[in-house]
A and B are shown apart, each in its own frame.
Chain A
Amino acid sequence: MITPTHYLLLSMALFTIGLAGVMTRRNIIIVFMSIELMLNAVNINLVAYSAQVQNLVGQVFAIFVIAVAAAEAAVGLGILLAFYRNKETVNIDEMNLMKW
């Protein structure tokens, strides 16, 4: 029997993996991709519970999350490109202009 709890655990694990990626990787593109993983984890959760309560709100919400993730990915990569043009690096450790 697959309960929503299973899906919850799955989404948590995926979220944590994404989180680990965000925390550890130095390549900023990998970091972005990890963020997409986290978003997916959220979507899994949403859809799972939507199926549980037989209400499509969860799915609609997941659609919107996907839309926003797309927008965010586009803009984020745009920023990255602009930064890359100036600093010639994608090492997140070198992106410390906001340092004190």
Chain B
Amino acid sequence: MQYIWAIPLLPGLGALVNGLVGVRVFSRRTAGLVACTAMGAALALSLVAFWQLLGLPAEMRSYDVVVAQWIPSIASATSDGARAALQVPWGFRLDPLSAMMLLVVTGIGTLIHVYSTAYMHDEPRGGVARFFCYLNLFCFFMLLLVLGSNVLVMFVGWEGVGLCSYLLIGYWYEKPSAGDAGKKAFITNRIGDWGFILGIFLLFWTFGTLDFVSIQRAASAMPIETGHFGVLSVIALLLFVGATGKSAQIPLFVWLPDAMEGPTPVSALIHAATMVTAGVYMLGRNAVLFSHAPMVLQIVAVVGVLTAFLAATIGLVQNDIKRVLAYSTVSQLGYMFTAVGVGAFSAGAFHLMTHAFFKALLFLGSGSVIHAMAGEQDMRRMGALKRHLPVTFATMTIGALAIAGIPPLAGFFSKDEILFRAFEANKFIWVLAVLTAFMTAFYMFRLVALTFLGAYRGPAWQGDAHGDRAVAGVDAHGHGAWHGPHESPRAMTLPLQLLAAGAVLAGFVGIPAALGGGNAIEHFLAPSFAVAGVHETAGPTGSPGVELGLMLFSVLVAAAGIGLAWKLYVADPEMSERLATRFASAHRLLSRKYYVDEFYNATFISGTMASGRALWTFDRRVVDGFVNGASWVTMFGSWLSGLTDRAVVDGLVNGIGNRLQQASYTIRRLQTGLVQNYAMLMLFGVFAFVSLYLFVR
């Protein structure tokens, strides 16, 4: 357990090797091997650490390791004037919650790495190494986030996964849409991070420390801020803003559907199982803090359930297989936040774990389908793939059942726990959640039906038994003409099967008391949400009977959803078309995602661009105007002085010269050259003197 710091380090090393060396030298196989080995080693270490943790008694399941000092000490003060020193170590903490997350990240991460070796084998050699480098880097940051013992280390991981998400979404950077999607993800995350950072500042300002345990301990001593917004509520709200960015809640969910531009393993790992759950995890880490801010928890629950509902409505009419899954992710994340919002932290964490299994399974399965269909992602051009892709079909159906909440699969237990707690807390939330569950079941089976059942609607291929329709230029991964959909290689199907097993079995750790189980996971996770044995998070208060009744009701709802999907897409396909035309405006509203992107574009984006343009105009007109004006003034002044010099000064000088010249023209005529004239002038003088003498004397 003392080597938990090595768990993030291994994928980090893998990223370094692949990034520095692999891009230049490694073959595809070597790059994949390096990455998978790193992840596998991390998984092994995680299992060992988990085993060791289980060996400890429940109250003592918290193990700290400090690797180095990051910020040794910066003198500062807190809000009450007390002196505090900002001291941040590179610390890692292993406790139940982080252990669970550890297993999820490393386990599912390893499976996805293995899957990617087959999925990405069409890419150029350097590109494959780059991909695995980014993927390992992502796991490094995610593990840092999970294991961090203080807010700042978690924040490093937080930012890092945002960066890797950008890198991986925009992996095919030659595609402008991929680049735009990457930027959109990063920028939207950044807006959330703004709130997170302010929350960190306020945390330090209030508590004088950034260590999670210390914060929770200090927070538990403060009064619960029922009905008003105290400092704890403000902190909690700011942290929740960060979570909305990372976990794609309203209003910052718009990046997740666009993130499907990235390769499917990326979507599976990052946008299903791990990164998007970081927000839930962060809230779970600060459970005590949030428990002391009931107003904020209310906000969390409302935002969560609204997001769940909204995303599900959009998912009903999407035609891209990955988009459906993306909105489904947003919706399920909403469920997790709803759970946190009603105080059921461990239920939210439980759903996080089960969701990781079946969502990753669904994404990887869709990747398998896309791979088989040579890049086709539109479900309207699929169909009847059941007999071509049997393994994929089986595993995806399991995943769909799981997410729909059919017992005894994993989703049933986790989702039901949430619905039960929601019912106890707020009936209105429960109604929305149930409706969302209905829609979830419906659109997941719509997906299954359109993809695997019914009639085949895709392009033809050589050797097609249905006749010689022209091959529509479909190129099956560089192998020349497409030979039709076929099952994926072992490297891809094995992870699918393993994940399916997980989707089936994972639920059994959380069998609630009403069904006779011990709800092991709740008890396992409870110490993480409490402080020193004081159980802050409220447990279920209702009677088992209500719980059983609700369980039954939700199963019926799920079944109804599945049934409706069967009716519309398998039994009577034309009916869906007719309904679409009958409710055309509603259909359009949903398929345009409530015009949220357009709204954001028109307001925030355009506003920012417009203000940027305005400032540019200001710079051009006013600032440059000043500068140019100053230069104009200078030039004018110089012209003026030049004019003065020419007109006045030169005029004076030239004038004098001209006068002198004219005078000389006149005077030189005295020089007649006639001697007698000169003599006469002398005589004049004599005459003058004599006259003078005569008349004066």
Contact = CB atoms under 8 A, between A and B. Distances in A.
Direct chain A–B contact by Cβ atoms under 8 Å: yes
Interface of A: 19, 22-24, 31, 92-93, 95-100
Contacts of B683: 19, 23
Contacts of B541: none
Contact of A23 (B669, B671, B673, B680): B680
B669 to A, nearest CB: 7
Given A99-B673, A100-B669, 15 more contacts: A22-B679, A23-B679, A23-B683, A24-B676, A31-B675, A92-B676, A95-B673, A95-B675, A96-B672, A96-B674, A98-B671, A99-B672, A100-B668, A100-B671, A100-B672
Closest 9 CB pairs of A and B: A96-B673, A99-B673, A100-B671, A100-B668, A98-B673, A96-B674, A23-B676, A22-B679, A92-B675
A23 B684 CA distance: 12
A7 to B, nearest CB: 19
16 contacts: A23-B676, A23-B680, A23-B683, A31-B675, A92-B675, A92-B676, A95-B673, A95-B675, A96-B673, A97-B673, A98-B671, A98-B673, A99-B673, A100-B671, A100-B672, A100-B673
A8 to B, nearest CB: 14
Contacts of A99: 671-673
A23 B683 CA distance: 10
Interface in B672-692: 672-676, 679-680, 683
Contacts of A31: 675-676
Nearest to A25: B676
Given A19-B683, A23-B679, A23-B683, A93 B674 contact: yes
Contacts of A100: 668-673
Interface string B658-670: 0000000000111
A22 B674 CA distance: 12
Nearest to B686: A19
Contacts of A92: 674-676
A44 B680 CA distance: 24
A96 B673 CA distance: 4
Contacts, number: 31
Contacts of A19: 683
A100 B664 CA distance: 11
Contacts of B671: 98-100
Interface of B: 668-676, 679-680, 683
B50 to A, nearest CB: 125
A22 B676 contact: yes
A12 to B, nearest CB: 11
A19 B690 CA distance: 16
B676 to A, nearest CB: 6
Contacts of B675: 31, 92, 95
A96 B672 CA distance: 7
A77 to B, nearest CB: 16
Nearest to B680: A23
A19 B680 CA distance: 10
Contacts of A95: 673, 675
A19 B672 CA distance: 20
A95 B674 CA distance: 7
Nearest to A28: B675
Nearest to B671: A100
A27 B665 CA distance: 30
Nearest to B664: A100
Contacts of B668: 100
Nearest to B674: A96
B388 to A, nearest CB: 123
A31 B675 CA distance: 10
Contacts of A96: 672-674
Contacts of A98: 671, 673
A97 B675 CA distance: 11
Contacts of A93: 674
B151 to A, nearest CB: 106
Contacts of B672: 96, 99-100
Contacts of A24: 676
Contacts of B680: 23
A99 B671 CA distance: 6
A97 B680 CA distance: 18
- Max count, chain B CB within 10 A of own CB: residue among A92, A97, A100: A100
- Max count, chain B CB within 10 A of own CB: residue among A19, A95, A98: A98
B520 to A, nearest CB: 133
A19 B670 CA distance: 21
Nearest to A99: B673
A97 B673 CA distance: 6
Nearest to A97: B673
A64 B683 CA distance: 25
A100 B673 CA distance: 7
A26 to B, nearest CB: 9
Contacts of A23: 676, 679-680, 683
A76 to B, nearest CB: 12
A84 to B, nearest CB: 16
A98 B673 CA distance: 5
A8 B672 CA distance: 35
Contacts of B674: 92-93, 96
- Max count, chain A CB within 10 A of own CB: residue among B669, B672, B676, B683: B676
A15 to B, nearest CB: 11
- Max count, chain A CB within 10 A of own CB: residue among B670, B675, B679: B675
A98 B676 CA distance: 13
B189 to A, nearest CB: 99
A99 B675 CA distance: 10
A11 B41 CA distance: 149
A19 B683 CA distance: 9
A3 to B, nearest CB: 21
A44 B91 CA distance: 141
A96 B674 CA distance: 6
A98 B668 CA distance: 11
A93 B672 CA distance: 10
Contacts of A97: 673
